[in-house]
């Protein structure tokens, strides 16, 4: 069954297009179906948020959009910027991600032996940029997220919120067309959360870029252009948020673990 959409408006170009997506883990009697017939559009120029209780499949879904998980065999479709991810080899998928997608992990995934500027440089080094060019851009983005005074620090010398901002800088540094975030503001105070969301809004204002966020943080719901509510592996409702269709009352209080 397709998700219910609370308001209709002209759809711009799509960053991601998912239809009839299913994902299971395990085999036989231990098989667990985590995603069930997911339909989702992620529109360019928008911040799309996925909300719902813990364990409902949100992180699995964004991992499929990012190409780090494969969907189940069957008729499902996963297209990102017109590229059918199901048809790409592992190497081609990795190359596509390195240029088109920035992923912010909930657990940060910073390399502990590298400084902040070195961590943020990694996506550009993977693309073949020189260390000088990569670190120059990394310093610029670290300044942007308020981490200019911590560039030479290693992750173990940072607070959780500081590590989160470094992880965000790493996802932004190569100017990806699609930024995918798993709880990007969970470790941030209100001031830094607002700073990060302002950066995401500046990205999403571009007609050929998009931001997809998994969050329980109802403080950032007003930044969304579209909110897709999930439960038990399904998208149960999609709300387009604009002046005529404000944030629904049932979403004002957020979701919690």
The helix, strand and coil proportions of the chain, stated in percent and rounded to the nearest 5, come to: 35, 25, 40
Nearest CA-CA partner of 57 in 84, 18, 95: 18
- Alpha-carbon distances, residue 94 vs 90, 131, 134 (angstroms): 6, 21, 19
- Digitized pLDDT (tens) for each residue of the chain, 257 residues in all: 455 554 445 556 999 999 999 999 988 888 899 999 999 999 999 999 999 999 999 999 999 999 999 999 988 999 999 999 999 999 999 999 999 999 998 888 999 999 999 999 999 999 999 999 999 999 999 999 999 999 999 999 999 999 999 999 999 999 999 999 999 998 889 898 999 999 999 999 999 999 999 999 988 998 999 999 999 999 999 999 876 677 777 666 554 43
Q: pTM of the predicted model, to two decimals?
A: 0.88
Give the C-alpha separation, 183 to 195, whole Å. 15
Q: Where are the domains of the chain?
A: 4-243
In the chain, beta strands by DSSP E: 4-5, 14-25, 32-43, 47-51, 77-80, 83-84, 101-104, 178-182, 210-214, 226-231, 234-240
- Judge whether 85 and 97 are in contact, CB under 8 Å: no
Diameter over CA atoms, the chain: 53
* 241 alpha carbon, distance to own chain's centre: 19
Is 4-243 assigned to CATH 3.20.20.150? no
Residue pLDDT, tens place only, 154-167: 999 999 999 999 99
Residue pLDDT, tens place only, 174-198: 999 999 999 999 888 989 899 999 9
- Judge whether 216 and 186 are in contact, CB under 8 Å: yes
């Amino acid at each position: 069954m397709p998700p219910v959409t609370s308001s209709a408006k002209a759809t711009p170009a799509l960053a991601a297009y998912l239809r009839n997506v299913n994902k299971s883990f395990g085999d036989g009697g231990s098989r667990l179906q985590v995603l069930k017939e997911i339909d989702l559009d992620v529109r360019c120029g928008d911040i799309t948020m996925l909300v719902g209780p813990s364990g409902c499949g949100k992180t699995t879904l964004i991992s499929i959009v990012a190409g780090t998980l494969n969907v189940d065999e069957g008729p499902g479709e996963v297209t990102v910027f017109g590229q059918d991810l199901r048809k790409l080899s592992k190497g081609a998928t990795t190359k596509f991600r390195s240029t088109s997608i920035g992923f912010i992990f909930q657990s940060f995934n910073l390399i502990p032996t590298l400084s902040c500027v070195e961590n943020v440089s990694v996506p550009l080094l993977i693309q073949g940029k020189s260390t000088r060019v990569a670190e120059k851009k990394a310093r610029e983005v670290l300044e942007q997220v308020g981490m200019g005074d911590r560039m030479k620090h290693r992750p173990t010398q940072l607070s959780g919120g500081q590590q989160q901002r470094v992880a965000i800088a790493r996802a932004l540094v190569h100017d990806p067309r699609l930024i995918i975030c798993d709880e990007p503001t969970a470790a941030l105070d209100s001031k830094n959360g607002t700073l990060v969301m302002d950066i995401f809004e500046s990205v999403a204002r571009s007609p050929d870029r998009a931001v997809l966020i998994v969050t329980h943080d109802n403080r950032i719901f007003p930044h969304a252009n579209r909110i897709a509510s999930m439960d038990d592996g399904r998208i149960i409702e999609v709300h387009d948020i604009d002046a005529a269709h404000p944030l629904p009352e049932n979403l004002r209080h957020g979701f919690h673990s």
